[in-house]
Amino acid sequence: MMKPFNLWSLFLALLLTPLLHFGQGNPTELGRVPWLRSLEEARTLSRKNSKPILILFQEIPGCQTCRSYGTDVLSHPLLVETISDYFIPLAIHNNKPGEDKRVLDLFREPSWNNPVVRIVDADLLPVTDRISGNYSKHGLLTHINAAIIKTGKRIPAWLQLLEEEFLADLKGTEKTYIGMYCFWSGEKNYGQIDGVVSTRAGFMGGSEVVEVEYRPDRISREQLIRRGKETGNADRIFVADEDPKIQVGGMETRKQGTFREDPETKYYIYKSPYRHLPMTRLQAARVNAALGEGRHPEMYLSPLQCTLMDRIRSHPSRFKKNLIGKNIAEAWTEFEAQ
């Protein structure tokens, strides 16, 4: 259970309310990060708050790569929160005269270039390597996490989870459908396995099944089935026509058909106020598993998400939307609109 709502929670909720609306007036290329535009101001704040400066060199207005970096990478709610909490964010336009050009020349960055990110200290010394040519969320977050470690801080579990999910998106995942007597129990058990990215409870061929999305470089389908049999959540496996027959401990094999999602997928989240909270699919899998086992799920949530949960619990009648299964960026927008 979450900690009881109190005056401190109320204060924190009010304090963090602007975080929900970060960067709404930004150009598309800057995403939703609340960027500073003065290097000297950034250096002053860096010294005052003992935080590195995260500098984005960006073309504005920019090409499709620049716009995509803004809408995809720099608008992800948890990346925006991370950049805002751990760094002093500074945006330098690489196609403007004046102060922008002075800073561009200071760092010997090219004009009219694709996005480049540098993480430096108040003396402008590099904390991590320059990020160039990698426009993925994972590429940015790995450098962010490296900078967090170099500044003597620990990477929280929720941020480790985010890096794991971004890597899964980058390397690719596979899905398998496993039949069992109770898909709610199965979804809880599969959702806590290392290498599993997401789960959904539903029906296939008249059976209760769990759709398990996983990283094949971390865990194999056969290993998933073995783990399922250990917890009593693997009675049969549904395979596509091109898949070979699978023989794992006498497992029954059936032809894969149409998957129909259960309305109460993520059952333990569904039956709790967490159904109103925007989460990534890996967060949701872990939170659902934790709730199903009576464990506290806060370790899988960012500080802002925990604060939003306090707000949801304190005003239950205000929050009505079930956000389970929705893309976190879309869910965040829906949450803001309530």
pLDDT band for position 10 (cuts 50, 70, 90): very low
pLDDT at residue 148 is higher than 80: yes
pLDDT at residue 168 is higher than 50: yes
pLDDT digit string, tens, across residues 72-125 = 999 999 999 999 999 999 999 999 999 999 999 999 999 999 999 999 999 999
* Residue 42 and residue 144 in one domain: yes
* pLDDT value, residue 16: 46
pLDDT digit string, tens, across residues 194-245 = 999 999 999 998 999 999 999 999 999 889 999 999 999 999 999 886 666 6
pLDDT at residue 6 is higher than 60: no
* Residue 54 and residue 175 in one domain: no
Distance CA 154, CA 148 (A): 7
* pLDDT value, residue 9: 40
pLDDT band for position 247 (cuts 50, 70, 90): low
* Residue 185 and residue 141 in one domain: no
Residue 321 resides in a domain: no
* Residue 278 and residue 188 in one domain: yes
If you search the block for the tokens 């975080």, which residue do you land on?
19
| Domain termination residue (choose one: 155, 186, 204) | 155
Taking all residues of the chain, what is their mean pLDDT, rounded to a whole number?
91
* Residue 34 and residue 124 in one domain: yes
Distance CA 316, CA 151 (A): 39
pTM: 0.89
* pLDDT value, residue 25: 83
pLDDT band for position 249 (cuts 50, 70, 90): low
pLDDT band for position 29 (cuts 50, 70, 90): very high
Residue 101 resides in a domain: yes
* pLDDT value, residue 105: 97
* pLDDT value, residue 23: 58
Q: What is the CATH number of the domain that holds 57?
A: 3.40.30.10
* pLDDT value, residue 242: 64
Average of per-residue pLDDT across 45-72: 97
Percent of the chain with pLDDT over 70: 90
| Domain termination residue (choose one: 121, 155, 189) | 155
* pLDDT value, residue 287: 98
Distance CA 121, CA 126 (A): 7
* pLDDT value, residue 336: 85
Q: Which residues of 52-82 are buried (b: 16+ CB within 10 A; e: fewer)?
A: bbbbbbbbbebeeebbbbbeebbbbbbbbbb
* Residue 18 and residue 127 in one domain: yes
Residue 316 resides in a domain: no
* Residue 181 and residue 120 in one domain: no
| Total number of domains in the chain | 2
* pLDDT value, residue 252: 79
* Residue 112 and residue 243 in one domain: no
Q: What is the C-alpha R_g of the chain?
A: 22
What is the length of the chain? 338
* pLDDT value, residue 248: 59
* Residue 196 and residue 263 in one domain: yes
* Residue 234 and residue 244 in one domain: yes
Residue 338 resides in a domain: no
pLDDT digit string, tens, across residues 279-329 = 999 999 999 999 999 999 999 999 999 999 999 999 989 999 999 999 999
Q: What is the CATH number of the domain that holds 163?
A: 3.30.1060.10
Average of per-residue pLDDT across 5-17: 41
| Domain termination residue (choose one: 155, 185, 206) | 155
* Residue 186 and residue 134 in one domain: no
* Residue 162 and residue 297 in one domain: yes
Long-range contacts of residues 159-166, Cβ cutoff 8 Å, at least 24 apart: 159/78, 159/82, 159/302, 161/280, 161/282, 161/283, 161/286, 161/300, 162/78, 162/79, 162/82, 162/280, 162/282, 163/138, 164/282, 165/197, 165/280, 165/281, 165/282, 165/283, 166/136, 166/137, 166/138, 166/141
Domain with 222 in it? 157-301
